[in-house]
Amino acid sequence: MKHLAKTLTVSSLLLTSIGWTANSLADSPAEITRIADAMGGLERLRSVSNQTVSADITGIAPLQAPVPGGEPERFDNITYTITRALDGERFNTHWTLDIEFPLKTHYAFTEIINGEHGAVLGVDSILQTPQAPMQAIRLGARKINHFVTSPVAVVKAMLAAPTEVVLLGSLEHRERNETVLAIKKYGKDIQLWIDNNTHLPIKASYWDSNPSYGDTQIVTQYSDWQDAAGIKVPMLIKQSDQGMEMVRIQRRSVEFDIAFIADPFEVPASLNVDLDTGLYNIGVKYANWFHRYLLVGIPFDLNQYSPESVFLHPVGDGVFYLQGFTHHSLIVEMSDYLVLFDPVLLEERTQLVLPVIKQQWPNKKIKYVVPTHFHVDHSGGLRGYVADGAQLVTTERNEDFYENVLKSKHIVYPDLLALMHKKARMLEINDGETYVIDDGERRIHLLQIANRHAPGLIAPYIEDQKILFISDLYSPGFFTAPIPPQFSYWGLDLYNDLLPRKLEIKTIIGAHGGMGSFQDFIDAMNLTFPEL
Q: Summarize as ranges the residues that interact with Zn ion (CB under 5 A).
A: 375, 472
- Coil/strand/helix, residue 46: helix
* Closest distance of CB 373 from Zn ion, Å: 6
Nearest to 299 by CA among 488, 109, 486, 457: 109
Nearer to Zn ion, 166 or 449 (CB): 449
Rounded to a whole number of angstroms, the minimum distance from the CB of residue 486 to Zn ion is 11
Least distance to Zn ion, CB of residue 382, Å = 15
Q: Could you tell me which residues are beta bridge partners of residue 478?
A: none
Contact between 468 and 507 under an 8 Å Cβ cutoff? The reply is yes
Q: Is the Cβ of residue 238 or residue 375 nearer to Zn ion in the bound state?
A: 375
Which residue lies nearer to Zn ion by CB, 407 or 452? 452
User: Whole-number minimum distance, CB 455 to Zn ion, in Å?
Assistant: 11
Q: Which is nearer to Zn ion, 39 or 405 (CB)?
A: 405
Neighbouring residues of 404: CB distance < 8 A, sequence distance ≥ 6: 212, 213
Closer of 285 and 375 to Zn ion (Cβ): 375
Q: How far is the CB of 281 from Zn ion (least distance, A)?
A: 27
Residue 472 or residue 493: which is nearer to Zn ion going by CB? Answer: 472
User: Which string of DSSP letters, residue by residue, matches 230-255?
Assistant: TEEEEEEEEEEETTEEEEEEEEEEEE
Write down the least CB distance from residue 454 to Zn ion, Å: 5
Rounded least distance, CB 98 to Zn ion, Å: 22
Amino acid at 133: P
Name which of 195 and 472 has its Cβ closer to Zn ion: 472
Q: How far apart are CA 159 and CA 15, in angstroms?
A: 26
Pairing type for strands 457-462 and 443-449 reads antiparallel
Of 142 and 375, CB closest to Zn ion: 375
C-beta separation of 365 from 338 below 8 A: yes
Q: Which residues pair with 173 in a beta bridge?
A: 176
CB of residue 255 vs Zn ion: minimum separation in angstroms? 41
Residues near 48 by Cβ (< 8 Å), separated by ≥ 6?
Answer: 86, 152, 156, 231, 256, 257
**CA 531 centroid distance within chain:** 39
Question: Considering beta carbons, is residue 146 or 375 the nearer one to Zn ion?
Answer: 375
Contact yes or no for 191/180 (Cβ under 8 A): yes
Q: How far is CA 265 from CA 54, 82, 95, 115, 144, in A?
A: 17, 11, 15, 10, 17
The C-alpha atoms of residue 144 and residue 190 are separated, in whole angstroms, by 9
Q: Is the dihedral of CA 6, 10, 12, 16 positive or negative?
A: positive
Pairing of strands 426-429, 391-395: parallel
Closer residue to Zn ion, CB minimum distance, 297 or 316: 297
The DSSP letter of residue 398 is G
Q: How many CB atoms lie within 10 A of CB 467?
A: 23
The residue with its CB nearest to Zn ion is 375
Instruction: Name which of 328 and 375 has its Cβ closer to Zn ion.
Output: 375
Q: Provide the pairing of β-strand 201-210 with 90-99.
A: unpaired
Residue 461 CB, nearest approach to Zn ion (Å)? 19
Q: Which residues pair with 80 in a beta bridge?
A: 55, 95
In whole angstroms, how close is the CB of 375 to Zn ion at the nearest point? Answer: 4
Amino acid type, 480: T
CB of 245 to Zn ion, least distance (A): 23
Give the separation between CA 447 and CA 370, rounded to whole angstroms.
Answer: 12
